[in-house]
Amino acid sequence: MTKFSACLILSLLAADCAAAAEAAMPESEAESQSEAELESVLVTASRTERGVLDMPGTASVIEAETMERQLARTIKDVVRYEPGVYVQNDPQRFGLSGFNIRGVGGNRIQTLVDGVRIPDAFSIGSFQSARRNMVDVDSLKAVEIVRGPGSALYGSDGIGGVVNFVTKDPRDYLELFGNSHYESLKLLYGSANQGFLQTATLAGEYSGLEGMLLLTHNQAGETENKGSNDSLSRARTEPNPQNARTLNLLSKLLYRFSEDNVLRLTGEALANDVDTQVYSLYGLNYTGRDVYRFLTDDRQNRWRVSLDQSIKHLDLGWLDTLNWKIYGQQSETRQAVDEARNTLLGDNQQVSRLFTYQQSMAGGEIQGVTEFALGPTRHRSVFGGEVFHFRTEALRDGHLADLNTGAVSNVVTPDSFPVRDFPVSDTFRAGLFWQDEMTFWERRVELLPALRFDYFGLRPEVDAIYAKDNKGNRVVDQDATAFSPKFGALFHLNDVFTLHGQYAEGFRAPNFSDANSGFVNFSFGYASIPNPNLKPETSSGGEVGLRAEGRAGYADATFFRNDYQDFIQSETVCDPTAGTSCPPFGLLTYMTINVPDPVRIQGFEFKGELKLSRLWPVLEGFKAVGSYAYAEGWNLHTQAPVNSVNPMRGVLGLGYDAAGGRWGIETILTLAAPKKTQDIDFETAGAVFPTAGYGTVDLLAYCRYTDHVTLNLGLFNIFDKRYIEWETARGLGSDPHAGLGGPVDIRDRFTQPGINVSASLRVEF
């Protein structure tokens, strides 16, 4: 698709949409548009409903309407224009992983669906990677993002931030037309990966009972890039061929005893299957083997059942609101590899590998809210507790077949399958939390202190498979407790300007693999041993900002600083080649340790929106939006830079919404700074490379042809810019198969799609 033809198509469709919408619009609606706009409500940051602009810290709510108009299909699309939030991607095989917030990512970001934790990510070597991309965007009502330590309300794992995916309820659909039933069909196409999505939704209510079913099916290929080398070799820069299929089901049944008393049953199931022909691993590899087939089948599924109740206005004196929830969740990652290769000795081999990773979880929580006055102050206190258990296990299996002789072996160097990289582990967690929202001086001052106590217990089980490769390796139990305080404050200078700030602490307890990752390989001369003295990671952070809100829009500017200690990572703790004795095995020894060097990440963020008609009435319907994120991080002892910190990124958008919201169009400019050589710690980064700065322009348009038919259009990277995102490029460092060694430059493999178009059509009844 050429740039001219794509722009022409989008312009013609937008013009046709505008004409149709104007013709269908009632006269009264065309003449005026309501000034009242509801502010996004956030629950995750405080466990009570507060406006996003009423938070002492920085938080965001990305609502379903925004995701729809931006044609978001993945978690990466959702945060495309969000300051300081990124999603890492492996463009060769595994795809999207989890979030990075202000330079901290992976399992250090607490990720939830309706308040239930998504399983931890886990990877071993370069052939297995269980990731946290386990939600379907079409099922979401909102995505709530809290920046900075979140342990005061959510316990372990939120030292970098919290992301909560909030799924849709029946009433979200029933209120659209005010009917007792609702049906819709959505179709979406994206040229970047030839993806075609279909979503069907049914909702209804009868005598206080509400129900809904939402079913999404998506079929897509590989995501295009700007690579031009299509060889079947390690020099390949074009994407590997992929076939991806996703099926997601969300069902809910609610009973309203009254408007203040709602009982909800939720069922959720997601299945994802991706087949990849990994052409980029063909040819002679670093082990001296010539690979001529490398096929993968990567499957991921997650299901959840939960029952919760919300009771408001209890009027019991000490308790005004009561919420409780119980849930069960099961997830599994299954990744199969079929590899065929020739060796230097003339052997023709077929290698089959199978990696499975499972986590089952059950738990519950209870939360109360009480409101009262004490002297000149008013208080809204939230308090409660949660307890849950999850069981985690992983297994690697496989075999090697000699195609010349027919001999089959379970030894695929360096492994003798089956192998467990950590023992089957049971984890118990429990926490008690409290937060008080107090206001005084006629609500000019608001203070929000919070405190949480957590207990963490890890109990490994050694079976025959784990013991086989870990003779002499003693697994360890883990027990830890932690107090996590937080204090936030808002000072409303007047009806427009507010000073806000907070201090918060967080922690992340060692998980199943941190504590007991073990393996002894005498043939290759190395061992990994558990660490009985492993401590939780900790963080402490503060931020201060100035916020403005009025009829013309809003703006929020924030400075932040976060310090992190005792990061958990695997290190070489003993090397016999240096003349050192290495008990208990006398081998090169690795151990997961707490890195003694503290890390500091600090920066500045801005986000705002301006209704231009407030400055120039002739610009009625026009708006400008903008965001900016800058961060820097370094090791406080060595002064080495922190590689997980992304370069500066700014977003500027100019949009128009017609009267009544019948149609609109928006142009968005994204600018990113380079990741320079001096900003990379190459000792820990592996085979990464600096990335250049870039700028891209996107064009979005929407139209409600009628109340029942909506069209969304998007033209992305309209100037066909070649660029590489640092968050994608830095993932190269952990993959030895994607190294930069040799005469061929493979950087283009990590480029983003060129000009591409997306379109969706929703028909509602």
Q: Report the CATH number at residue 392.
A: 2.40.170
> What integer pLDDT is reported at residue 413 of this predicted model?
80
> What integer pLDDT is reported at residue 506 of this predicted model?
92
For residue 462, give its domain range.
33-167+222-636
Give the separation between CA 603 and CA 645, rounded to whole angstroms.
10
Tell me, yes or no, whether 734 lies in a domain. Answer: no
The structure tokens listed for 543 are 């931020």
The structure tokens listed for 363 are 């738990």
Give the separation between CA 57 and CA 661, rounded to whole angstroms.
31
> What integer pLDDT is reported at residue 739 of this predicted model?
46
Sequence-ordered strand ranges (E) for 64-149: 85-90, 95-101, 104-105, 109-113, 116-117, 122-124, 128-130, 140-147
Tell me, yes or no, whether 726 lies in a domain. Answer: no
> What integer pLDDT is reported at residue 318 of this predicted model?
85
Tell me, yes or no, whether 26 lies in a domain. Answer: no
Of 53, 112, 59, whose CA–CA distance to 504 is shortest?
59
**639 C-beta neighbours (distance < 10 Å), count:** 8
| Cβ–Cβ under 8 Å, residues 606 and 628 | yes
The structure tokens listed for 679 are 């900003």
> What integer pLDDT is reported at residue 35 of this predicted model?
38
| Cβ–Cβ under 8 Å, residues 636 and 600 | yes
> Would the CA dihedral through 576, 580, 586, 588 be positive or negative?
negative
pTM for the model stands at: 0.92
Mean pLDDT by 10 residues, the chain (765 residues): 51 55 46 44 75 87 95 95 92 90 92 94 83 93 93 89 95 93 97 96 95 97 95 92 97 95 97 95 81 95 97 87 96 96 88 95 96 90 96 95 93 88 94 94 91 94 89 84 94 94 93 83 78 89 95 94 92 81 82 90 96 90 96 94 95 94 95 94 80 97 94 97 93 54 72 96 95
Give the separation between CA 334 and CA 349, rounded to whole angstroms.
23
Tell me the Cα Rg of the chain: 27
Tell me, yes or no, whether 585 lies in a domain. Answer: yes
> What integer pLDDT is reported at residue 180 of this predicted model?
94
Of 169, 317, 291, whose CA–CA distance to 232 is shortest?
291
| Kind of pairing between the strands at 537-550 and 553-565 | antiparallel
Tell me, yes or no, whether 87 lies in a domain. Answer: yes
Sequence-ordered strand ranges (E) for 122-226: 122-124, 128-130, 140-147, 161-167, 181-190, 195-206, 209-221
Give the separation between CA 337 and CA 627, rounded to whole angstroms.
42
Task: Give the type of residue at 182.
Answer: Y
Q: Helix-strand-coil percent breakdown of the chain, rounded to 5?
A: 15, 55, 30
Give the separation between CA 288 and CA 375, rounded to whole angstroms.
78
| SS3 state at 241 | coil
Tell me, yes or no, whether 149 lies in a domain. Answer: yes
Tell me, yes or no, whether 3 lies in a domain. Answer: no
Number of domains in the chain: 1
Strand partners, 411: 416
Tell me, yes or no, whether 699 lies in a domain. Answer: no
Give the separation between CA 632 and CA 547, rounded to whole angstroms.
23
